[in-house]
Structure 1
């Protein structure tokens, strides 16, 4: 059996995701050393440095999901000679191949990303809960 070489595009995306993951991990460690609560969220206005780190965390969390879901998975599918479909179809295929542990985990993380971006600090308790869950997803 011959061995298939990964395409340059797939290698590029794998390297990109690796770098994005390292940056996300670093930011998570600097920002989220302890659980986030309502007072932590409410005090962000008085702590611009921490607010800036939070913005970096949110951007990196979202970018990682975008890169994996929108670019890496379709590229991987093309490399294994499959035609990418809808995002959900692609995720289901990745689960069947053992690349993704559970589609439901990915969907939860994606919904969490949307909550963090679209409900940004409107409800301090809800936002704190979402940030803590995002840390677990990282």
Structure 2
């Protein structure tokens, strides 16, 4: 078992990611109930905009926090030296260790997130298509978090 400082950092970051995932799951469920389509995406009411804002915020925060905080915390807790390790190498190492299903899939999820968060197409249809891709990616992202959570429990026991 690693030093308690690394485990405490892992626990805190994991809890933060779980909170984002809970809110993201709620937003995804509400989006399914609302059943927005491309036509309705052109004329969103205040509640729909708030829902989409919640989704966008939690989706981007979860992915950012997992990639920049949780995954490095996992590697440090496992005793890996990541000081000089580029992000892509960290993802590949997590895949090798069984903590990430696929480093390539993570990179694809990151590309979808970047297109959703940073590109603003003029067409409502294109914006809607990016939303659909992001919603699908968000579900995959939560699956990644589930794998990490199971691995944490198996390797370190209940940190709560």
Q: Normalising TM by the smaller chain, what interval?
A: 0.7 to 0.9
* Alignment length (residue pairs): 134
Distance verdict in 2 for CA 1:117–1:135, change over 3 Å: same
| Segment drifting more, 51-60 vs 125-134 | 125-134
Alignment of 1:98-113 (within 5 A): 98-113=98-113
1:29 has 2:35 as partner: no
| Segment drifting more, 103-112 vs 35-44 | 35-44
Gaps of 5+ in 1: none
Partner of 2:136: 136
Partner of 2:67: 69
Q: RMSD value over aligned CA atoms?
A: 1.8
Aligned partners of 1:115 and 1:36: how far apart in 2?
20
Partner of 1:13: 13
Aligned partners of 1:13 and 1:129: how far apart in 2?
31
Distance apart, 1:37 and its partner CA: 3.4
Distance apart, 1:77 and its partner CA: 1.0
Q: What TM-score does the superposition give when structure 2 sets the normalisation length?
A: 0.75
Distance verdict in 2 for CA 1:93–1:34, change over 3 Å: farther
Q: Alignment partner of 1:120: what SS? A: coil
Deviations 1:52-103 (A, max 9, x none): 1101101100000111000011111111111222111111111111111112
Which portions of structure 1, spanning 4 or more consecutive aligned residues, are displaced by more than 4 angstroms? 3-6
Gaps of 5+ in 2: 140-160
1:56 has 2:54 as partner: yes
Distance apart, 1:32 and its partner CA: 3.4
Answer yes or no: is the 8 Å Cα contact 1:91–1:103 preserved in 2. Answer: yes
Distance apart, 1:126 and its partner CA: 2.1
Q: Alignment partner of 1:32: what SS? A: helix
Aligned partners of 2:49 and 2:34: how far apart in 1?
15
Distance apart, 1:117 and its partner CA: 1.6
Distance apart, 1:108 and its partner CA: 1.6
